């Protein structure tokens, strides 16, 4: 099987490895449009969505202390149960997630 398309897309950061790449891992792309940044994440299918979000927020927003201020969206819909696994949330190898602020922010 060939590598998913998201591994070929350009990112300025190295991938976040929640586990070492192997047979039971998937690669997803997380985009943060507020800062025009993307990151690839290598994780197991059984990893909770909350763990993925926590690591991505820590990497993209290092000064932000509260990951609960962000939501992950898959195909335009918020992933409501962050305790569920990536597989149960509908993520497959090559999925693209959007990391957005939960509430609108004032333009400065």
CB proximity list for 58: less than 8 A, separation 6 or greater? 67
Looking only at the bridges linking them, the beta strands covering 37-44 and 25-32 are antiparallel
| Environment class of 46 (CB within 10 Å of its CB; exposed 0-12, middle 13-18, buried 19+) | exposed
Quote the pTM value. Answer: 0.84
Q: Are 93 and 27 in contact (CB under 8 A)?
A: yes
Q: What is the pLDDT along the chain (108 residues), one digit of tens a residue?
A: 556 666 666 677 888 999 887 778 999 999 998 889 999 999 999 999 999 999 999 999 999 888 889 999 999 999 999 999 999 999 999 999 999 998 876 677
Domain boundary assignment for the chain: 5-101
Indicate the CATH number for domain 5-101: 3.10.20.90
């Amino acid at each position: 099987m060939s590598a998913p398309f998201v591994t070929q897309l350009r990112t300025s950061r190295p991938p976040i490895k929640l586990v070492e790449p192997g047979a039971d891992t998937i690669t997803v792309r997380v985009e943060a449009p507020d800062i025009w940044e993307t990151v690839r994440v290598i994780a197991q299918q059984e990893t909770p969505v909350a763990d993925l979000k926590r690591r991505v927020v820590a990497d993209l927003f290092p000064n932000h202390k509260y990951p609960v201020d962000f939501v992950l969206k898959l195909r335009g819909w918020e992933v409501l149960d962050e305790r569920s696994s990536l597989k149960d949330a509908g993520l497959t190898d090559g999925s693209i997630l959007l990391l957005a602020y939960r509430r609108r922010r004032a333009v400065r």
